[in-house]
Structure 1
């Protein structure tokens, strides 16, 4: 049975525990997950990807590239950004992947219901400039049509002198409702 002084103490301890739990961040949870992962990790893996493939994909959390393609650790380079757009930095990563680490194929994956369909570059840059006083020097690379942006990204790869295995690039749209990939032809 709780006494009149025990009840407030129990309540205070409950609040303290709740406050401590509130201080635990998602990053803290990830660190705990990593400790479990590391305890059964079978490394080190070779630096070059085992399947000699580089995947460029959107950063959308609904797209699990590894599960969607049946990949395991060490089998592919996965390069992600907003929209899965082939930018200068993606070309840099692909050049390193091919020239130094032996990848021979490139797969592009965009997806349905992409956030990049919801704004224009100019509006986004204006909004940032209005908030910060500085206009971003980079292009957000929004697009009005997912399949057409896959084609544009494939053309950027084909046009790049830094990417060596041009003919091996293929593009797809991942359907976030079904999990299926549909190939986009140039």
Structure 2
């Protein structure tokens, strides 16, 4: 597949309506950081009504906060965000495997990298609601995350587009 071949034409259409977005300030207007999954079915701007310049959106496999910590700290300490919303979602791939599963697969496919594979925690989870609660608790307890800020946890339903607050 050569998806990149569409980039320039799509960008030309985007530039036509770009307007004054180049003058948006660096810190997000809503002082909000969103941590969510990289799943291609998720469009946080669309389902949360945020626009360019409103929030930092940090994405990774599962929307796991341990992996997003570096970006969260930079967002807060250097760019002034004061609220964090954690979003996990239904039908998440992170619910479908264990560390053992993926490590075995990778060791089989890449035997020369077996030592590197054993040191990686792929951060899968077995319970969706608990994973949201665990991430929120992780952030609340972490010494580098600002205290006395609002940290909420949510589940996005890929089947319906609805969000529901868990924490």
TM-score of the pair, normalised by structure 1: 0.82
Which segments of 5 or more consecutive residues in structure 1 lack a partner in the other structure?
1-23
Match in the other structure for 1:27: 4
Taking the aligned partners of 1:94 and 1:157, their CA distance within structure 2 comes to 9
Which segments of 5 or more consecutive residues in structure 2 lack a partner in the other structure?
none
Q: Name the stretch that deviates more: 31-40 or 103-112.
A: 31-40
Match in the other structure for 1:111: 89
Match in the other structure for 1:3: none
Match in the other structure for 1:90: 68
Match in the other structure for 1:101: 79
Match in the other structure for 1:79: 58
Taking the aligned partners of 1:172 and 1:56, their CA distance within structure 2 comes to 10
Q: Is the CA contact 1:58–1:80 (under 8 Å) kept in the aligned structure 2?
A: yes
Change (3 A) 1:86 1:73: same
Taking the aligned partners of 2:91 and 2:27, their CA distance within structure 1 comes to 33
Please identify the structure whose Cα radius of gyration is greater.
1
Residue in structure 1 matching 2:42, options 63, 66, 75: 63
Q: Is the CA contact 1:104–1:165 (under 8 Å) kept in the aligned structure 2?
A: no
Distance apart, 1:39 and its partner CA: 2.8
Q: Is the CA contact 1:157–1:166 (under 8 Å) kept in the aligned structure 2?
A: no
What is the CA deviation profile of residues 94-113 of structure 1, one whole-angstrom value per residue up to 9, with x for unaligned ones? 11101110101000000011
Taking the aligned partners of 1:161 and 1:37, their CA distance within structure 2 comes to 41
Taking the aligned partners of 2:27 and 2:146, their CA distance within structure 1 comes to 16
Alpha carbon RMSD of aligned pairs, Å?
Answer: 1.4
Query: Matches of residues 112-151 of structure 1 in structure 2 within 5 Å?
Result: 112-133=90-111, 134-135=113-114, 136=117, 137-151=119-133
Q: Is the CA contact 2:28–2:79 (under 8 Å) kept in the aligned structure 1?
A: yes
What is the CA deviation profile of residues 21-72 of structure 1, one whole-angstrom value per residue up to 9, with x for unaligned ones? xxx8211202211122123212131100011000000111111100110010
Taking the aligned partners of 1:167 and 1:126, their CA distance within structure 2 comes to 40
Distance apart, 1:166 and its partner CA: 5.1
Taking the aligned partners of 2:123 and 2:153, their CA distance within structure 1 comes to 17
Q: Which has the higher contact order (CA 8 A, sep 6+)?
A: 2
TM-score of the pair, normalised by structure 2: 0.91
Q: Name the stretch that deviates more: 127-136 or 70-79.
A: 127-136
